[in-house]
């Protein structure tokens, strides 16, 4: 008898975005034709950089001729892309990362979700709270947790972010083997300083732990003192894997490309306690369960690294950050305590009341859709996330409405 | 201490294609400039259908304007593609499959590799022998096998294909919960009759088992009596998941698109023995660990279902099948016992000697690269696989050379 994975039944249906959608639907049913402004979802709204489009068109045309056709590509990505990534995203910032340590994928979500497969089932896992749900759910599916009780899964360590620590949690006091960190953070927009990241790297080295560092929002960092990569921290290559994405930096949410960095030195341990390099395990996982990224998509991603591509991405980011600044100014003027928004497309703020109640108020009184912080975990209760992913005009209109009702 | 998945150390490095590459390299080092003809690798060589290229170019251009930009797509694929698949690949053949039962992915290999994740670790698994290695390796990684002994993994059931059963193995005598079947088969090119598939479906229904049916080579079927889909068999929807690919049918090996069919009725069981529908589990897996297929790629795949796309794919397939026929004729004329080639791009034949020895003979004496059957499992020993994926001219030249030496 074919039995299902018993751990799937532990997963809580994530009602967050479904519930947001339902409340929006109900509102529209009661107020047909209402002029809603959506600042809730973390999807970009602006087109791909023109240089990426041209590269994709050229590559698509190459697929149309036997002479220039690309069949199966390399499992870990074309050299032209891996080289460009290593040089621009790492070596140019002083990080000693080479092309062979770059693993191109169809997105950071897939990598972040799949990476835990190469570890033993009974390792101890820590996740941030509030948290991007993929870190949690993929470990529940893999059988690394107990039941869901009081909003948390038994057996997981929650690294609580709050106003006191600026949503950058300290290293855990209890023993943990694998830690997920995300800076600039989704959903709080928080960034970690060099000293804070050094503390995490030192802790991982001292405890035989590993850090999965989600840097999908890296290009939003404007403050020159904030590290863009965990590999700017001495000692990180042995204890950290980094995930990057073209989704938010170059508008690839629907075009799909990202990458993982698995340094040659990065290690884990076997049952006897002997160190084993992690990279061969990830290669094995990817070559067995994945077959590389579409050639035209990789060509588009490589165009990000041309001078025009870099300029076009920075212009995209600058537009979203200008939106975030407008949101911050209006909320701060009304006395709300805000986080993020300066080096991140996300503004996170203390609503001064229960999240869903505030969400409903913004929807009903201002026709503005946001995301209730409580949907990201217990530590998000009482907060609201506003995203900068919309046009300038819509963000300004939304803030004028908020000015009137708050 | 972060411990690795202990099952990865059981996986045998698959030396097959690496060893082929090494022997070719050695030959070229000793014979610089030799005119090798490669009939070994299962990668297509002809360009995408023109209608697919045009669709991809149009969709890429849409990504370049805010007004037509596509961000995150639906997790399971765009309706325009799911509808076209359901209608053309299933409903037109009398299979009662709807768009909501189609799950678009970045390739059949990924789906075939990932699908086992939704089952319990200690289910009993059966794989064909000879076998596409992904079926085996992904179950080893998941901890469903013991050690590798004598060419087989302990704990796996091997469904032996041989000349006597025409490489269509009968249902197992021992208890098994999950079975991988692949028709038209890789590597043997064998196809299963309606009666043979009915026996498998009846067996699965009687035993509470599930069939993972890999139909990546479906479009190569020419014999009108051979089913293209497992859903042509009464009762299959409850007990079978089907995997399809655009790789071999439309040249998408490097463009990446495929799909899984998980019927509404398809069921597995929980620990108490109660039936549970499989589709919600796959939805949960995909929405958590995957983020959809690139929009321009889905647009290209949908073009396969236009009348021009169907005609262009059939022309591609006809070209490869004509190659296979040439290979069959030459081998048969020399008295070799062949399998496949009529409804498949693969010709499989009894070499009359040990596989690697015959491979070396073809390489050294005819400068033709093939694949030794022993690399696909114990039951492949003594066989050779030749693929039709090359130009007509190269196939004809290769066969002329074989005529001289065999």
Is the pLDDT at B14 greater than 80? The verdict is no
pLDDT reported for residue B382: 98
pLDDT of residue A42: 84
The interface residues of chain B toward chain A in range 256-275, judged by CB-CB distance below 8 A, are 256, 268-271, 273
Quickly list H helices, A263-391.
279-289, 295-303, 307-333, 355-366
Instruction: Count Cα neighbours of A357 within 13 Å in the Cβ-side half-sphere.
Output: 7
| Residue A85 pLDDT exceeds 80 | yes
Residue A13 has pLDDT above 80, yes or no: no
Q: B72 contacts in A (CB within 8 Å)?
A: 43, 253-254
A and B: number of Cβ contacts within 8 A: 255
Chain B environment of A52 (Cβ under 8 Å): 63
Q: Do B113 and A290 touch (CB under 8 A)?
A: yes
Cβ of B134 under 8 Å from any chain A Cβ? yes
Do A47 and B56 lie within an 8 Å CB cutoff? no
Confidence of residue B103 (pLDDT cuts 50, 70, 90): very high
- Averaged pLDDT for residues A18-28: 93
Residue numbers of B between 378 and 397 with CB closer than 8 Å to A: 391
DSSP structure string for B310-347: HHHHHHHHHHHHHHHHHHHHHHHHTT--EEESSSSSEE
Distance in Å, alpha carbon of A120 to nearest chain B alpha carbon: 4
Residue with tokens 């479009």: B219
3-state secondary structure of A301: helix
Name chain B contacts of A70, Cβ cutoff 8 Å.
254
pLDDT band at B18 (very low <50, low <70, confident <90, very high): confident
Find the residue in A nearest to B272 (Cα).
Answer: A3
How does strand B125-129 pair with strand B157-160?
Answer: parallel
Residue A67: predicted pLDDT: 96
Distance in angstroms (rounded) separating the CA atoms of residues A263 and A285: 16
pLDDT of residue A340: 98
For the cut 90, the answer to whether the pLDDT of residue A16 exceeds it is: no
CB contact under 8 A, A5 and B117: yes
B295 contacts in A (CB within 8 Å)? 254-255
Which of B58, B256, B284 has the most A C-beta neighbours within 10 Å, making it the best mutation to test the interface with A? B256
Contacts 24+ apart (CB under 8 A), A77-82: A77/A102, A77/A103, A77/A104, A77/A105, A77/A259, A77/A292, A77/A293, A77/A298, A78/A104, A78/A295, A78/A298, A78/A302, A80/A298, A80/A302, A81/A298, A81/A301, A81/A302
pLDDT of residue A241: 98
Phi, psi for residue B89 in degrees, rounded to 5:
-80, -20
Quick check: A138 and B11 CB within 8 A?
Answer: no
**For residue A204, what pLDDT band results from cuts at 50, 70 and 90?**
very high
Interval B22-33: pLDDT, tens? 999 999 999 999
B222 CB within 8 Å of a chain A CB:
no
All residues of chain B having their beta carbon less than 8 Å from the beta carbon of residue A309 are: none
Q: Provide the pLDDT for residue B42.
A: 84
User: In what helix (H) or strand (E) does residue B182 lie, and over which residues does it extend?
Assistant: strand B178-182
Written as one string, the DSSP assignment of B131-176 is --HHHHHHHHHTT----EETTEETTPEEEE--TTTTT-PPPPSS--
Any chain B CB within 8 A of the CB of A289? yes
From B10's Cα to the closest Cα of chain A, the distance in A is 12
Indicate left, alpha or beta for A242 from its phi (over 0: left) and psi (-120 to 50: alpha): beta
The reply to whether residue B63 touches residue A255, judged by beta carbons under 8 angstroms, is yes
Contact status of B355 with chain A (Cβ, < 8 Å): no
Specify the pLDDT at position B15: 72
Contact B114 A289 (CB under 8 A): yes
Chain A's closest residue to B61, CA to CA, is A53
Residue A300 at interface with chain B, using a CB cutoff of 8 Å: yes
Confidence band (pLDDT; 50, 70, 90) for B235? very high
- Token pair recorded at residue A22: 């339902």
Q: What share of chain B is helix, strand, coil (3-state, %, to 5)?
A: 45, 15, 40
Beta-carbon separation of B60 and A296 below 8 A: yes
Residue A86 has pLDDT above 90, yes or no: yes
Q: How far apart are CA B378 and CA A326, in angstroms?
A: 67
Name the 3-class secondary structure at B360. Answer: helix
Whether the CB of B178 is below 8 Å from some CB of chain A: the reply is: yes
Find chain B residues with C-beta within 8 A of A140's C-beta.
Answer: none
Q: What CA–CA distance (Å, rounded) separates B257 from B109?
A: 10
d(C-alpha A366, C-alpha A368), whole Å: 5
Inter-chain contact B2–A177, Cβ cutoff 8 Å?
yes
pLDDT tier for residue B41 given thresholds of 50, 70 and 90? confident
Residue A30: strand, helix, or coil: helix
Contact of A25 with chain B, judged by CB distance below 8 Å, is answered with: no
Locate B149 and state its tokens.
């002994």
Q: Express as a percent the part of chain B with pLDDT over 90.
A: 97
The answer to whether residue A210 neighbours chain B at the CB level (below 8 Å) is: yes
Distance from the Cα of B289 to chain A's closest Cα (Å) equals 5
Give chain B's radius of gyration (CA, Å): 21
pLDDT in tens, A229-257: 999 999 999 999 999 999 998 999 999 99
Beta bridge partners of A371: A385
A270, B210: Cβ pair inside 8 Å?
Answer: no
What 3-state class would DSSP assign to B348? Answer: strand
Say whether B118 and A5 touch across the interface (CB within 8 A).
yes
Say if the Cβ atoms of A60 and B61 lie within 8 Å: no
Q: How far apart are CA B135 and CA B212, in angstroms?
A: 10
Task: Answer whether A9 sits within 8 Å of B65, measured CB to CB.
Answer: no
CB contact under 8 A, A53 and B61: yes
Q: What is the CA B276 to chain-centroid distance, rounded?
A: 28
Interchain CB distance below 8 Å, A294 and B117: no
Which among A131, A79, A132 has a CA at the least distance from the CA of A104? A79
Q: What is the pLDDT of residue A304?
A: 98
Whether B17 shows a pLDDT value over 90: the answer reads no
Residue B12 has what pLDDT? 87
A43 at B interface, C-beta within 8 A? yes
Q: State which residue of chain B sits closest to A13, comparing Cα positions.
A: B284
Q: Do B57 and A57 touch (CB under 8 A)?
A: yes
Interface contact B123, partner A, CB < 8 A: yes
Q: Is residue B15 less than 8 Å (CB to CB) from chain A? A: no
If you measure CA to CA, which chain A residue comes closest to B389? A71
Nearest to B253 among A71, A209, A290 (CB): A71
The string of pLDDT tens digits covering residues B67-95 is 999 999 999 999 999 999 999 999 999 99
Q: What is the pLDDT of residues A143-189, one digit of tens each?
A: 999 999 999 999 999 999 999 999 999 999 999 999 999 999 999 99
For residue A322, the distance in angstroms to the closest alpha carbon of chain B comes to: 18
pLDDT tier, A391 (very low <50, low <70, confident <90, very high otherwise): very high
Question: pLDDT tens across B334-364, in order?
Answer: 999 999 999 999 999 999 999 999 999 999 9
How distant, in Å, are the alpha carbons of A294, B86, B184, B237, B278 from that of B102?
21, 7, 21, 13, 13
For residues B374 and B381, the answer to whether their CB atoms sit within 8 Å is yes
For the residues B116-142, what does the mean pLDDT come to?
97
How many of the other CB atoms lie within 10 Å of CB of A35?
9
Interface check for A12 against chain B (CB to CB < 8 A): the answer is: no
B336–chain A nearest CA distance, Å: 31
User: Nearest CA to CA, how far is A182 from chain B (Å)?
Assistant: 17
- Residue B257, pLDDT above cutoff 90: yes
Closest-approach residue (CA) in chain B for A287:
B134
Radius of gyration of chain A (CA): 21
Instruction: Encode pLDDT of A330-378 as tens digits.
Output: 999 999 999 999 999 999 999 999 999 999 999 999 999 999 999 999 9
Using an 8 Å CB-CB cutoff, list chain A residues near B60. 53, 56-57, 60, 296, 300
Nearest to A133, CA basis, from A13, A247, A23, A213: A13
Asked if B65 is an interface residue toward chain A (Cβ–Cβ < 8 A), one would say yes
> What band does A12 get if pLDDT is binned at 50, 70 and 90?
confident
A49 alpha carbon, distance to own chain's centre: 20
Which residue among A109, A117, A290 places its CB closest to the CB of B291?
A: A109
Kindly state whether A77 is in contact with chain B, defined as any CB-CB distance less than 8 angstroms: no
φ/ψ of residue A246, rounded to 5: -90, 0
Phi/psi-derived region of residue A266, left when phi > 0, alpha when psi is between -120 and 50, beta in every other case: beta
Residues of B in contact with A50 (CB under 8 A): 64
């Amino acid at each position: 008898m074919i039995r299902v994975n018993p751990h799937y039944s532990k997963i809580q249906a994530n009602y967050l975005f479904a519930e947001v959608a339902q409340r929006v639907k109900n509102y529209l049913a009661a107020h047909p034709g209402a002029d809603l402004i959506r600042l809730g979802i973390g999807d970009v709204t602006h087109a791909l950089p023109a240089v990426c489009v041209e590269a994709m068109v050229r590559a698509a045309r190459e697929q149309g001729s036997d002479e220039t056709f690309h069949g199966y590509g390399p499992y870990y990505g074309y050299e032209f892309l891996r080289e460009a990534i290593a040089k621009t995203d790492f070596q140019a910032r002083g990080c000693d990362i080479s092309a062979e340590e770059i693993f191109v994928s169809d997105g950071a979500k897939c990598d972040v979700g799949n990476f835990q497969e190469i570890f033993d089932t009974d390792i101890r896992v820590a996740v941030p709270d509030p948290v991007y749900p993929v870190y949690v759910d993929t470990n529940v599916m893999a059988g690394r947790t107990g039941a869901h009780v009081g909003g948390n899964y038994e057996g997981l360590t929650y690294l609580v972010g709050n106003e006191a620590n600026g949503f950058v949690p300290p290293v855990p006091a209890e023993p943990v083997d694998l830690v997920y960190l995300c800076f600039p953070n989704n959903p709080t927009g928080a960034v970690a300083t060099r000293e804070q990241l050094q503390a995490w790297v030192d802790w991982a080295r001292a405890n035989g732990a590993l850090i999965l560092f989600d840097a999908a929002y890296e290009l939003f960092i404007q403050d020159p003192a904030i590290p863009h990569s965990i590999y700017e921290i001495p000692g990180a290559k042995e204890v950290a894997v980094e995930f990057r994405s073209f989704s938010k930096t170059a508008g690839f949410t629907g075009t799909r490309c990202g990458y993982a960095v698995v340094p040659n030195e990065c290690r884990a341990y076997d049952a006897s306690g002997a160190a084993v390099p992690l990279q061969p395990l990830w290669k094995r996982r990817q070559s067995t369960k994945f077959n590389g990224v579409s050639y035209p998509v990789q060509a588009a991603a490589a165009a990000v690294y041309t001078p025009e591509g870099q300029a076009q991405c920075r212009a995209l980011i600058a537009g979203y950050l200008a939106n975030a600044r407008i949101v911050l100014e209006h909320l701060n003027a009304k006395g709300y305590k805000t986080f993020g928004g300066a080096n991140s497309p996300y503004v996170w703020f203390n609503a001064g009341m229960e999240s869903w109640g505030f969400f409903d108020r913004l929807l009903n009184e201002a026709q503005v859709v946001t995301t209730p912080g409580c949907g990201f975990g217990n530590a998000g209760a009482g907060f609201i996330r506003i995203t900068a992913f919309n046009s300038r005009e819509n963000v300004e209109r939304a803030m004028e409405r908020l000015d009137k009702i708050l």
